[in-house]
Amino acid sequence: MAHEREFYINGEWVQPSGSATLEVIDPSTEEAIATIALGTAADVDKAVAAARAAFPAFSATSREERLALMRRLLEVYKTRYADIADTLSREMGAPKKLAHTAQAAMGSSHLAKMIETLETFEFEQLRGTTLIAKEAIGVVGMITPWNWPLNQIMCKVAPALAAGCTMVLKPSEIAPLNALIFAEVVHAAGIPKGVFNLVNGDGPTVGEAISRHPGVDMVSFTGSTRAGILVAKAAADTVKRVHQELGGKSANIILSDADLNRAVKLGVEGCMRNSGQSCNAPTRMFVPADKHAEAVAIARATAEPLKVGAPASEETWLGPVVSEVQYNKIQRLIEAGIKEGAELVTGGPGRPEGLNRGYYVRPTVFANVTDDMTIAREEIFGPVLSILPYKTEEEVVARANDTPYGLASYVQSGSVDRARKIAAKMRSGNVYINYPAWDAGAPFGGYKQSGNGREYAGFGLEEFLEIKGTVGYAAA
């Protein structure tokens, strides 16, 4: 890759202002595969200046002009699809099949959905004599994570383009190479100079500079709740809009009339997919107490055959987790589960048998978990499932909601009406009934400490718009 030690600012690849670098580690081998430049506040200043200079003209473009740009962006993205997927697999450890069918696919799916949304979106509406207009908010700072990199980049870039905003992106420094390819896609698509800018760097330096910058009108952040709090504090002095998609500890409620075999099997796989590194993963499985033993047996039978191995292998179901830091955190939490008395069903500490390097984690299932245990409270972000028995529906709803998080909930039942009643009581931004197909048009975001604002389709577009009321616009 030609631009690993450069940033994309004002339509050009430029040298960083500083000399700091960081190795990008392949988590399957623990070896460096690239070295990127780390930015400084001075680089952020340059990127913001470019975005501010580009904003007046870009925000004045017509719907048709922005649609044409986004359609070209989608066309070019498809030509680099394989490069993006392969790069994602190498830098964050996603199995090759998952990288091609889901990780890279999320980028094109969100862009296509935003194009569809923009085609009919109402930016103006007359209410009496008052014109209600929705206008681009301005320069947007974007800070994205490593677990679904292109998904989160596109969930921010696509609505920003549709709204007429300009932007400065800081991708995760742990998995930054896919973002560099995306910047090449932006350039090839002919996005005007200064509309999209990219500065690599770490959170305490580049992330904080973006959040604090008086020239940034909005910061859109996806990552941990801990980091989200720091972003919000840094942004507070300039009273900019802060849009956040943060952590989760999602409950999966299996009701007594559910198909237990299907509900547990898909619940285990949903928790383990992407090596458990999804903020909305169903990590707390609530099962009727009288079916606990049967559910545990199904969970064991599902988890144990899941193949852990090199991302490039077609047989691999779980690749490594993204980094040594993440691996050590997961190991600490598995040890905490054992120490606090949870029943270890399968998996446990250490690497899977036959793997002596790479950040591989054993697919782990705990049973007889209680609500006060660390593994039931903290977001693990690894392939670790907790099974918790319950006795009544009233009890399970209260326990499922007893968390500082509120990103997603899952409900499994043989009766859709019964599931709907439980879903209505869940304090989360999303509820998934009986493992439905993914919907790019559903709002995505959380309650409580899982964030604020929403992503996807028109819900995401609204976040990048200001509302202006022009009173007396029309004659009475």
Task: Please give the residue range of the domain that contains residue 91.
Answer: 7-246+450-470
Residue 147 — very low, low, confident or very high, per pLDDT cuts 50/70/90? Answer: very high
Q: Does residue 476 fall inside a structural domain?
A: no
Do residue 190 and residue 143 come from a single domain?
yes
Give the type of residue at 209. A
Mean of pLDDT over the chain:
98
**Residue 66: predicted pLDDT:** 98
**Residue 1: predicted pLDDT:** 59
Do residue 102 and residue 149 come from a single domain?
yes
Do residue 103 and residue 209 come from a single domain?
yes
How many Cβ atoms sit within 10 Å of the Cβ of residue 314?
8
Do residue 223 and residue 323 come from a single domain?
no
Residue 166 — very low, low, confident or very high, per pLDDT cuts 50/70/90? Answer: very high
Do residue 462 and residue 410 come from a single domain?
no
Q: Does residue 415 fall inside a structural domain?
A: yes
What's the rounded mean pLDDT across residues 460-467? 98
Can you give the CATH number for the domain in which 12 is found?
A: 3.40.605.10
**Residue 227: predicted pLDDT:** 96
Q: Which tens digits make up the pLDDT trace of 16-41?
A: 999 999 999 999 999 999 999 999 99
Q: Which tens digits make up the pLDDT trace of 330-367?
A: 999 999 999 999 999 999 999 999 999 999 999 999 99
Do residue 100 and residue 185 come from a single domain?
yes
Q: Annotated active-site positions, please?
A: 245, 279
Do residue 107 and residue 22 come from a single domain?
yes
Per 3-state DSSP, the chain is made up of helix, strand and coil in percentages (nearest 5) of: 40, 20, 35
Q: Which tens digits make up the pLDDT trace of 357-404?
A: 999 999 999 999 999 999 999 999 999 999 999 999 999 999 999 999
Report how far residue 299's alpha carbon sits from residue 261's, in angstroms, rounded to the nearest whole number: 9
Residue 475 — very low, low, confident or very high, per pLDDT cuts 50/70/90? Answer: confident
Report how far residue 270's alpha carbon sits from residue 267's, in angstroms, rounded to the nearest whole number: 5
CA dihedral 429, 139, 278, 406 (to 10 degrees): -20
Number of compact structural domains in the chain: 2
Q: Which tens digits make up the pLDDT trace of 32-84?
A: 999 999 999 999 999 999 999 999 999 999 999 999 999 999 999 999 999 99
Percent of the chain with pLDDT over 70: 100
**Residue 443: predicted pLDDT:** 98
Q: Does residue 1 fall inside a structural domain?
A: no
C-alpha angle 326-357-37 in degrees, rounded to nearest 5: 55
Check whether 466 has a pLDDT greater than 90.
Answer: yes
Do residue 255 and residue 240 come from a single domain?
no
